Structure 1
Amino acid sequence: MATALATTDHPDAPRVLGEAVARIAQFWQLSNARLGRIVGLSAPTVSRLRAGSYRLEPATKPFELAQHLVRLFRSLDSWLGQDDEAARSWLATPNLDLGAAPIDLIASVRGLLATSDYVDALRART
């Protein structure tokens, strides 16, 4: 998976990234509407993405945002020891450092990047 995500010109990148995003949505129990706000797609398009009938296009904002979502997932997953319940709880809990619940922040590009950077910094301390 990492190889296909590392470069947008890899032929499997859209499929692999779409599958990864769909799995993240499942693990974090994200609705199609919420996932759509995060990656910049409509809820119906997210539904097709989750079903495998829609592919993210390389060099588009949704593709790039999906890559950042995967980065956040992997960092959070590593930091919390692959505990999906702990990840959902952390995302839903207001965070004083970030100024809001991470799940609300990641609906914007700035919030997604800030949350990813924050989790990376936490991981670096341990």
Structure 2
Amino acid sequence: MTTRPLETQADDGNVLTAAVARIAEFWGFTNHKLGAILGVSEATASRLRSGKAELDPASKSFEAAQFLLRLFRSLDALLGSDDMSARAWLTTGNLDLDARPIDLIDSFRGLITVCDYVDAHRARV
């Protein structure tokens, strides 16, 4: 059995870009921080947030954005849609992760680790 990658639609980049811009707003990310998470420059992050650019579905930035959206949705479900609590969780030291989650998500590996951590706790609920 072979697996095929998920097919993307023409507007997937636009939809994900808008979602990431909203997440950045909710969580108070600067363009520098958003750029670090997505692996793009601060200027590109600014263009993404303003709607002057969109994520390319074939890029690593798009994949990082999908994980950021996954993290947002998982925290949203776990914390009952309380954006301030999610922001506080991100900026508080976590003994299990041995760091603040906000510091880990700048790397792709860290973003995946934090997503997996939150999803594991969400599964217990």
TM beyond 0.5: yes
Please give the alpha-carbon distance, in whole angstroms, between the structure 1 residues aligned to 2:49 and 2:112. Answer: 23
Matched pairs, number: 120
In structure 2, give the amino acid aligned to 1:52: G
In structure 2, give the amino acid aligned to 1:122: H
Superposed displacement of residue 8, structure 1: 5.2
| Aligned Cα root-mean-square deviation (Å) | 0.8
TM alignment of 1:12-51, pairs within 5 A: 12-51=11-50
Structure 1, unaligned runs of 5 or more: 1-6
- TM-score, normalised relative to structure 2: 0.94
Counterpart position of 1:113: 112
TM alignment of 1:1-126, pairs within 5 A: 7=6, 9-126=8-125
CA deviation string 1:50-87 (max 9, x = no partner): 11010111111101100110001000111000000000
Please give the alpha-carbon distance, in whole angstroms, between the structure 1 residues aligned to 2:67 and 2:102. Answer: 14
Counterpart position of 1:4: none
Please give the alpha-carbon distance, in whole angstroms, between the structure 2 residues aligned to 1:88 and 1:9. Answer: 30
Please give the alpha-carbon distance, in whole angstroms, between the structure 2 residues aligned to 1:34 and 1:61. Answer: 16
Please give the alpha-carbon distance, in whole angstroms, between the structure 2 residues aligned to 1:18 and 1:56. Answer: 6
In structure 2, give the amino acid aligned to 1:82: S
Name the SS of the counterpart of 1:57 in structure 2.
coil
Could you tell me whether the CA contact under 8 Å between 1:8 and 1:59 is conserved in 2? Answer: no
Q: Which segments of structure 1 move beyond 6 Å, counting only runs of 4 or more? A: none
Max radius of gyration: which structure?
A: 2
Please give the alpha-carbon distance, in whole angstroms, between the structure 2 residues aligned to 1:124 and 1:64. Answer: 23
